[in-house]
Structure 1
Amino acid sequence: MILIVLSLIMGFIGLNIGGIIGGAEIYAYLFGVVGVLSPGLFILEQIYKRSKFNEEDKLFAKTDELDLIKLRDIEVLSNAQLEDVIEMNKKKANKSESDEKFQKYKKLLDELKQSGYFSDNQYFSSLDKLEKYYDVY
C-alpha cells in the first residue's frame, strides 16, 4: 500500500517537473512514468541485492572449504588442522541457522501475542521455552 501511494506521489512530482522543464507534453509524461516506476524499481533492486548477498555467502562457504583442502594438499595445514577448521566452520553455520530459526519463531510468538491469542503469561512462558530450546539468553 505504501509503495502504491509513494508511486502516485512520485508520479505527480514527475509530471510537475516535466511540465516545468519542457513545453512539450512528452516531458511531463516521461517524468511522470519515471516517477511512478521508481519506487517499485528501488524495492526490486533491494530484494535482488539481498538475494545475491545470501547466494554469495553460500558460495563462499563452499569455496572456503575447497581452499582449505588445497592448503592441506600443499602441506600448509595438517589433516588434523583441516578437520578442526572444517568442524569450526560447520558449528558457526549451524549457530547462524539456529539464530535465524529462533528469530523466525520469536516473531511468530510476537504475532500470536499481538493478535490476542496469547496472554502475557502464556507468551512469556512460550518465549522462555523457545529460548531454552535454542540456548539463547
Structure 2
Amino acid sequence: MDINMITWAVMLFFIIWGAVRLAISPLIDKQYEPYKESDDLVKLRDMDVLSDSELQEILELYQKNDLKNKNYEQYENYSSALKELKEIGYLSEEQYSSKMTVLNDYFKIQ
C-alpha cells in the first residue's frame, strides 16, 4: 500500500511541477537575459585584455544600445498607428503631420 501511495505522490509532484513550469515560462521576460557577449567580455577581463573600467564602459554601451533599439521599436509602432489612422481617414494630412511632429519631438528624431 505504501509503494502505491509513493508512486501516486511522485506522479502528482511531476504533474504539478510540469504544469507550473509551463504556466510561468511565457511570463519570464527573455529580453532581460544577460548579454551573451558579457561572458566573453568577462573572460577578456580575466585574461587582462580588458581593464575593469573598460569592461564597465562596454557593458554600459550595450545597455544604451538596447534602450535605443527599444525606443526605436516603440517609435515605429506609434508611427505605424498614426499612419494607419491617416489611411483610414480618421486623421487629415494636417493632423497627421502635426501628430508626427509631436511624436518625433518626443523620441528626439530629426
Q: TM-score range by the shorter chain?
A: 0.5 to 0.7
Candidates 90, 94, 100, aligned match of 1:127 = 100
Question: Structure 1 vs Structure 2: percent identity of aligned residues?
Answer: 34
For the pair 1:72 / 2:45, whether they are aligned, the reply is yes
Unaligned stretches of 5+ residues in structure 1: 1-54
For the pair 1:100 / 2:73, whether they are aligned, the reply is yes
After TM superposition, list the pairs within 5 Å mapping 1:1-137 onto structure 2.
Answer: 62-137=35-110
Say which SS state the counterpart of residue 129 (structure 1) adopts: helix
Unaligned stretches of 5+ residues in structure 2: 1-29
- Give me the whole-angstrom Cα distance separating, in 2, the residues matched to 1:125 and 1:69: 47
TM-score scaled by length of structure 1: 0.54
TM-score scaled by length of structure 2: 0.66
- Give me the whole-angstrom Cα distance separating, in 2, the residues matched to 1:112 and 1:97: 23
Give the total of aligned pairs: 81
In the TM superposition, what is the alpha-carbon distance from 1:62 to its structure 2 partner? 2.0
In the TM superposition, what is the alpha-carbon distance from 1:112 to its structure 2 partner? 0.5
- Give me the whole-angstrom Cα distance separating, in 1, the residues matched to 2:82 and 2:102: 11
In the TM superposition, what is the alpha-carbon distance from 1:73 to its structure 2 partner? 1.7
Say which SS state the counterpart of residue 35 (structure 2) adopts: helix
Q: Which has the higher helix share?
A: 1
- Give me the whole-angstrom Cα distance separating, in 2, the residues matched to 1:117 and 1:91: 36
In the TM superposition, what is the alpha-carbon distance from 1:118 to its structure 2 partner? 0.8
- Give me the whole-angstrom Cα distance separating, in 1, the residues matched to 2:41 and 2:107: 30
